[in-house]
Structure 1
């Protein structure tokens, strides 16, 4: 037995009007075409749905049962069709997003707000992850889109730059250099350093260590933290200093003073990344929103 939605809608029109001519006018079809639809539905169900006389049309018990059940069927069919249309346009469904802490402390909230305003039925699931883990998860389709920092090239992924900010030095608030408006990089020689582990973001790690070497020293790394909160907590405890993107100054970590560096400092780029072969409309919508938000910041 195969029920056609068109047949159900024809049945509901007749059942509501209890008049074939008025039902046909309501549906903008001929009365004969409407009668054919109803007969086809009765044949499919193996039941007579209407009692017809020259003077009146009435629902049979089988027709009454269908009249009670059909609205729910039609509602669910319409809702399913709407969901399909929204998913195809990228305005519904679930989008799984990865983001480095740098992005969450800066541009990510504005991107997500822009997406929500444009597609309120699109559910965003956001997980904080380091860049290296995001690239792997993205390539393995465990993420749909990623907000990464200084990502290494990957053949299966595309990246677009969003915003960049300079490195700053993070100091314990009672450090001797915290009194300076700007810190000379040479003054950090010999200081204990707190950094990210290189496997979590080789490009970023190499930018920091390369910058130090350009100014005559290699950083003496005494501690590493797998997230920014841990690293800044170690700085606040007095364990060492750190070089971090200026984005993190927004966190206003208690016990930590951010100071700009003298001279040109490396710019740390945030990027949006996605799979090259991903044709998802939701991903396109997110990337478009990310680039649009970035343009307002530049």
Structure 2
């Protein structure tokens, strides 16, 4: 059976008018041409659709079945076409997004809300991963786009800075240094430290240890946490102090105090990352929203 959507629309017009001359006028075709289109449709279906006499045109039983089915067929065809166009434009489908906890505590909700507002049919699967895991997952095509921290670009992955904020010192709430408005890094020389494991983000780890060395000491790391909640809990328990991006101050966990560091303090970058060879419009929409929320105003695509 080879039936065209155009033939179904012609059929529905004739069925609505039950008069070939009036239907031809509505369709702006000649009556003979219209009759030929209906005969072609009937041959394709192997059934007569209209009983035509000199006095009236009526639907046959087969015609009444097609009258019931044709609108649904046309609706589904139109919906399929819309979905295909949306997918091609990045307005629908699935976008797999990774994010570090830093971004989830700060800029990520604004980005996701912006994308959702513009493309409500685009489904986003968001999960939390450290920077190193995201860079690997992007290269392996297990993520479409990621929000990472202090990462270096690779041959496979583009990294673009969104926002930067300075390091803060994180102290147990009852720590003597918590009474100060600012803390000198040198005052931390004898303190035990709680940090991220280096494999989870080598660049960020090196920023912290390099900052400590610039102030005359290497941090004595007594505990590590694979997520910020664990690290802040260890600080609250008095296990040690930590250096963290100021984004995490938004979490305001009990038992810890965030204090600015005096002097020159390194900044930590939040970045958006995607595959160099990725041509997905949905990724472009996400990156554009990230730039807008960060206020970077960057027009390139890397």
TM-score by length of 2: 0.95
> C-alpha deviations, 1:154-182, integer Å up to 9, x for none?
11111211000001011111111100100
Q: What's the Cα RMSD here?
A: 1.5
Size of the alignment, in residue pairs? Answer: 298
CA distance in structure 2 between the partners assigned to 1:131 and 1:290 by the alignment: 17
Give 1:275 shift.
0.9
SS of 2:86's equivalent? helix
Give 1:39 shift.
1.6
SS of 1:48's equivalent? coil
Q: Which runs of 5+ in 1 are unaligned?
A: none
Task: Identify the residue that residue 45 of structure 1 maps to in structure 2.
Answer: 45
Give 1:77 shift.
0.7
Change (3 A) 1:32 1:135: farther
Alignment of 1:82-161 (within 5 A): 82-161=82-161
Task: Identify the residue that residue 289 of structure 1 maps to in structure 2.
Answer: 289
Task: Identify the residue that residue 196 of structure 2 maps to in structure 1.
Answer: 196
Change (3 A) 1:41 1:236: same
Give 1:296 shift.
7.3
> C-alpha deviations, 1:106-141, integer Å up to 9, x for none?
111111111112111111111011111111111111
Give 1:33 shift.
3.3
Task: Identify the residue that residue 210 of structure 1 maps to in structure 2.
Answer: 210
Equivalent residues of 2:152, 2:159 under 8 A apart: no
SS of 1:91's equivalent? coil
CA distance in structure 1 between the partners assigned to 2:110 and 2:234 by the alignment: 29
SS of 1:272's equivalent? strand
SS of 2:295's equivalent? helix
Change (3 A) 1:280 1:34: farther
120-129 vs 18-27, greater mean Cα deviation: 18-27
115-124 vs 244-253, greater mean Cα deviation: 115-124
CA distance in structure 2 between the partners assigned to 1:54 and 1:159 by the alignment: 75
CA distance in structure 1 between the partners assigned to 2:30 and 2:102 by the alignment: 64
Task: Identify the residue that residue 36 of structure 1 maps to in structure 2.
Answer: 36
Give 1:90 shift.
1.5
Task: Identify the residue that residue 276 of structure 1 maps to in structure 2.
Answer: 276
> C-alpha deviations, 1:27-70, integer Å up to 9, x for none?
34443333232222111111111111222211111111111111
SS of 2:37's equivalent? helix
Q: Which runs of 5+ in 2 are unaligned?
A: 298-302
